[in-house]
Amino acid sequence: MAIKKLFVRCPVCNKQKHIDFDNSIILNSGKSLIPIEIPKKLICEDAFMVYVDKNCVVRDCVSFDFTVELPDMEVTDNQQSSLLEIDSDKIRLNLYPTLVAQILRCMFNKARFIVIFNTPILNRLYERFFRLLSEDSFSIDITFMQSRKFKLQKNELKDRIILYRGKILNDNKKIFRYPLNFEELLAKNFFLESNAKTSSIMLKNEVLKAYLLSSTIVDFILKSNIYRLTSVSVDELIYKEHGIHLDFKYIRFLNMIINNYFISRLRNKKVKISNYFSDFL
C-alpha cells in the first residue's frame, strides 16, 4: 500500500485541497479511469466524484448532486451495433467525463463542433465512436482535430464550437448557459460501468431514448399546433404513447432538445413547457 497525495478541486465551489489516497485501489482496478467519491465535508460542503488515472493524476472532477430518474423504456436491441466493435476502454482511457458531457451537449443542440485533441492516431476512432453512438438518432457534426491543424484552418471554422482542454469557445448560441447536469450524469454512468461494451450500449440507449421522446413531443406540437405545454401534459402524452412516466427534470432536458435540435422542424417557433398546470387550460 502506498499513500499518495491527490490534488482535488471541487467542481461546485472551486475549493482546493490535497487529500491522502491509497494507490492500491488504482493498481488493483482494471479500469483506465478510477472514480473516487468525495463525500461532503472532506473538502467542502459538496459531494462530488474525482476521476484518477493510473499515474495518480486527477483527470476530472464532476458534481455529484444531480440525480434524475432516467426513462424506464425499452429501446431497440443494440447488441448488433457496430459500436460493439469499438474498444470502449480505449475511449474511456483517453477521454474524460466532462468532455463526453460537453460533446453530448453539442449533439443534443445540433451544434457543429470541433474537439481539439492531440492524439492523431486516435482522433478518427473517437469520431467513429460518437457517430455510431448516435447512428439511429441525432445527426452529429463532430471533428476531432490536432491543435496544429486547427490553427491553420481557424478562419474557415469560425462557425464551430470549439472544445479545448475543458474550455468552450465560440458558443454563439449559448448552448452551454445551462449546467451540464444531465449530460454529466450520462457521462458518469458511461465511465462507472465496469464492462466496456455494456457502457457503450447503455449510453447509446440513453441517447436514443432522448431522441425518441423529444420526437414524440415535436410530432404532437406540429399536429396540434400548441406551442405551450406543461410538464404534466407532456408526461400524459408520453404515458399515452410510450406507457412510461417521466421525471419532471427529464422533461426540462427534453425541452432543451426540442427548442434547439428540432427548432427548424418547428418552423423556428420556440416551445414553452412550463411547470404549472394552469398554463395548459
Smallest distance, Å, CB 131 to Zn ion? Answer: 36
The answer to whether 262 touches 218, Cβ cutoff 8 Å, is yes
For residue 112, the SS3 value is: strand
Smallest distance, Å, CB 8 to Zn ion? Answer: 10
**Spatial distance between the Cα atoms of 111 and 113, rounded to a whole number of angstroms:** 6
Question: Hey, CA dihedral for 119, 125, 127, 130, is it positive or negative?
Answer: negative
Under the criterion CB under 5 A, does residue 10 sit at the interface with Zn ion? yes
Nearer to Zn ion, 39 or 166 (CB): 39
45: left (phi over 0), alpha (psi -120 to 50) or beta: alpha
Nearer to Zn ion, 71 or 97 (CB): 97
Smallest distance, Å, CB 204 to Zn ion? Answer: 32
Per-residue contact string for residues 15-44; x = within reach of Zn ion by CB under 5 A: -----------------------------x
Amino acid at 121: I
Smallest distance, Å, CB 62 to Zn ion? Answer: 12
Of the candidates 251, 249, 209, the one whose C-alpha atom is nearest the C-alpha of residue 233 is 251
**Residues 40-59 close enough to bind Zn ion by CB under 5 A:** 44, 46
Among 6, 9, 12, 136, binds Zn ion (CB under 5 A): 12
Applying CB under 5 A, the residues found at the interface with Zn ion are 10, 12-13, 44, 46
